[in-house]
Amino acid sequence: MLTQEQKSQFERDGYLVLENVIDEATRQAVVDEYTALMDKLYHRWHAEGKVQAATSDMGFWDKLDVAYKSGFDWYQPLDISLPHADITEETPMHFGPAVFDMATHPRILDIVESLIGPELTSNPIQHVRIKPPERNVAKDEIRAHIVSTDWHQDQGVTLESADKTEMITVWLAITDATVENGCLQVKPGRGTELLPHCSLKQTGIRERYLPQQEAVPCPVKAGGAVIFHPLTPHASLSNRSDGYRWSFDLRYNVTGQSTGRDHFPSFVARSRAKPETELRDWRKWRDLWEDTRLRVANSPHIEQHRWPTSGPYCA
């Protein structure tokens, strides 16, 4: 649980930087799971003629780098959510036991419980972020999961149904996040209102609407996390290093409140009142997403963001 000093800091600043949120065994299990996933994907990509044959000395980052430089979409098969549009019955995504154990890690849930109480739902607005050196990124690449993330509030990437939802974001570092490789930055001071966003490229806040506080970088070591209130403006710096930077966005809200993307699946991660309602089997989590993919792929498109590209805040 958080100390009273930490809770007071969160109330004042709207964020916390915490080291050692998950243990090394949990973090390494995620790395191992993604390494096995990459091996499987790379084998398929090679069979499809998209990449050269792997050599015996190629690891996860080597294969990812080849896939990235080959110019096809390597990202979506690694993500823990569906994309915002063009969903088909074959749209790839990843849900495995190590990622599930990470998302339901007791230390993470203890932190979130300290801030919004003991009835916690795992929110479906969650993503993996694996960011290459930005100087190597194609000029037309705008996805926030790959390039530097524009200034935004997390409430701004939900639908209006979640405007009264009590929600917390846990930005979890899998590799060290440094100023050089594009760690987060924040405008400290807990916000009280949703600022106007624009979806012309990423969903973000134009500079003229941003708070005037100086941006504060938030470096954190692997296994640590940055915790956000949904109204705290934050962004990421550019990855100016020679390597990739890896993190996960994990979100949690009070059970029974709207997730802000209610057409995607959520689950009870912790319940002190009704522990029997907690989801404990990663396969059921995976099945929820696969069922949703089938339903959404065969239904009219449902908007995932509230901000039109033609909105007045884009002018």
State how far the Cα of 173 lies from the Cα of 224, in Å rounded to an integer: 6
- Give me the architecture of the 4-314 domain, per CATH: Sandwich (2.60)
Residues 189-218, mean pLDDT to the nearest whole number: 89
Q: Is the pLDDT of residue 208 over 80?
A: yes
Chain centroid to CA 28: how far?
18
At 157, the pLDDT band (50, 70, 90 cuts) reads very high
Query: Looking at this protein, which amino acid is placed at residue 270?
Result: R
Q: Is the pLDDT of residue 143 over 80?
A: no
* Residue 191 confidence (pLDDT): 78
State how far the Cα of 302 lies from the Cα of 299, in Å rounded to an integer: 8
* Residue 101 confidence (pLDDT): 98
Pair 196, 209: CB distance under 8 Å: yes
**From 109-113, 144-148, 184-188, the region with the lowest mean pLDDT:** 144-148
Q: Is the pLDDT of residue 141 over 80?
A: no
* Residue 186 confidence (pLDDT): 97
294-303 residue pLDDT tens? 999 999 998 8
pTM score = 0.95
* Residue 289 confidence (pLDDT): 98
DSSP-derived letter for residue 57 is T
* Residue 203 confidence (pLDDT): 87
Q: Is the pLDDT of residue 190 over 90?
A: no
Residue with tokens 């930055």: 185
Chain centroid to CA 27: how far?
16
- The residue ranking higher by pLDDT, 212 or 262, is 262
Chain centroid to CA 98: how far?
16
Q: Is the pLDDT of residue 142 over 80?
A: no
Q: Is the pLDDT of residue 197 over 80?
A: yes
82-97 residue pLDDT tens? 998 899 999 999 999 9
| Residue ranges of domains in the chain | 4-314
227-259 residue pLDDT tens? 999 999 999 999 999 999 999 999 999 999 999
Q: Is the pLDDT of residue 145 over 80?
A: no
- Name the nearest CA neighbour of 64 among 220, 246, 223, 239: 246
Q: Half-sphere exposure of residue 91, counting CA atoms within 13 Å on the CB side?
A: 22
Chain centroid to CA 201: how far?
18
Average pLDDT, the chain: 94
CA distances from 44 to 47, 48, 70, 144, 176 (A): 5, 6, 14, 26, 30
Q: Is the pLDDT of residue 158 over 90?
A: yes
State how far the Cα of 27 lies from the Cα of 92, in Å rounded to an integer: 23
At 210, the pLDDT band (50, 70, 90 cuts) reads very high
Helices in 57-127 by DSSP H: which ranges?
A: 60-69, 97-103, 106-116
